Copies of this chain bind each other. A is one copy, B any other.
Amino acid sequence: MNLGVCYYPEHWPRERWPLDAQHMREAGISIVRIAEFAWALMEPSQGKYDWTWLDEAIQVLVAEGHEIVLCTPTAAPPAWLIQSHPDILPVDEDGRRLRFGSRRHYCPNNPTFIKHTEKIVQAMAERYGNHPSVIGWQIDNEFACYIPRCYCDICAEKFREWLKEKYGTMETLNEAWGTNFWSQNYSGWAQIEPPNLTVAEPNPSHVLDYYRFFSDTWVAYQDIQISNLQSRISKHQFITHNIIASLTDIDYYDLAKNLDLISWDSYPTGYAEMGGDDLYFPGEIRPEYSYDLGDPMITGFFHSLTRGLKGAPFWIMEHQTGMINWSRTNTGVRPGALRLWTWQALASGAEAVVYFRWGASRFGLEQHHSGLRVHDGGPDVGYGDLLSMKSEQELMEKIGAEPLKASIALLVNYDDLWAINHQPHREGFNYFRYLFVFYRACQRLGLNVDLVSQEANWNEYKILLAPMAHLGFSQLAHKLSVFASQGGSVMLGIRSGFKTPSNVVTDQPLPGEFKDIVGAEVAQWHALPSGVSYPLQSEILSSCGEVTFWAESLIPEPGTNVLASYTNEPFANNAAITQKKLGKGLIYYFGIYPSLDQASTFVGYLASQHEIGLLDDLPPGLIAIARGDATLLFNFTDKALNTRIQGHDIQVAPRDLKIFNGAAL
Contacts and interface: CB of A to CB of B under 8 A. Distances in A.
Contact of A83 (B179, B191, B196): B191
Contact of A198 (B101, B368, B507): B101
Contact of A78 (B185, B288, B364, B532): B185
B80 A44 contact: no
Interface stretch (A35-43, A224-232, A251-259, A478-486): A35-43
A186 interface: yes
Interface stretch (A329-337, A432-440, A455-463, A643-651): A329-337
B199 A90 contact: yes
Interface stretch (A111-119, A124-132, A203-211): A203-211
A167 interface: no
Contacts of A79: 184-188, 191
A100 interface: yes
A570 B145 CA distance: 34
Interface string A1-40: 0000000101100000000000000000000000001111
Contacts of A181: 8, 11, 37, 361, 363-366
A381 B571 CA distance: 12
A129 B458 CA distance: 63
Contact of A99 (B10, B193, B325, B509): B193
A200 B145 CA distance: 9
Contacts of A95: 96
A615 interface: no
Contacts of A366: 181
Contact of A367 (B38, B331, B423, B426): B423
A391 interface: no
A505 interface: yes
A177 interface: yes
A164 interface: no
B365 A182 contact: yes
Interface on chain A toward B: helix, strand, loop, or mixed SS?
loop
A52 interface: no
Contacts of A40: 179, 183-185, 187
A284 interface: no
Contacts of A11: 178, 180-181
Contact of A183 (B37, B325, B334): B37
B83 A188 contact: yes
Contacts of A201: 102, 365
A313 interface: no
Interface stretch (A275-283, A370-378, A620-628): A370-378
Nearest to A13: B507
Contacts of A527: 323, 329-332
A619 interface: no
A199 B335 contact: no
Contact of A98 (B38, B198, B508, B510): B198
A526 interface: yes
A77 B183 contact: yes
Given A195-B101, A427-B328, A570-B335, A524 B363 contact: no
The 6 A-B pairs of least Cβ separation, nearest first, read A178-B363, A181-B364, A76-B183, A102-B200, A332-B526, A79-B191
